[in-house]
Amino acid sequence: INFTSIEIAILLMRHGERLESSWAMSVVDSLVFVGCIFGMLTFGYVGDVLGRVAGLRVTMALAVCGLLASLAPVESATQMEA
């Protein structure tokens, strides 16, 4: 499991959304772990069914979609109040 992704998520949420509560950081930690476990189980199966190369292509396509979705502009609560 890539623990760096947890730290990056918390760092971005602290500075972007002013995340300061400890329970919210714990939720982020938990969600990253759940996502990692779900991905390992799902793409292990996809690799078994489709083959290694096709499974990696599906994984990369979903990673690119996730990247594009994370770049999409989203209004934060502070912007909506102004």
Q: Is the pLDDT assigned to residue 78 strictly greater than 70?
A: no
Q: What is the pLDDT of residues 66-75, one digit of tens each?
A: 778 877 776 6
Q: What is the pLDDT of residues 17-52, one digit of tens each?
A: 665 677 777 777 788 788 888 888 888 888 899 898
How far is residue 57's CA from residue 49's CA, in Å, rounded to a whole number? 13
**CA proximity to 2, closest of 36, 31, 26, 30:** 36
Band of residue 53 on the pLDDT scale cut at 50, 70, 90? very high
Buried b (16+ CB within 10 A) or exposed e, 32-51: beeeeeeeeeebeebbeeee
pLDDT at 35: 81
Alpha-carbon torsion (47, 48, 50, 53), positive or negative: positive
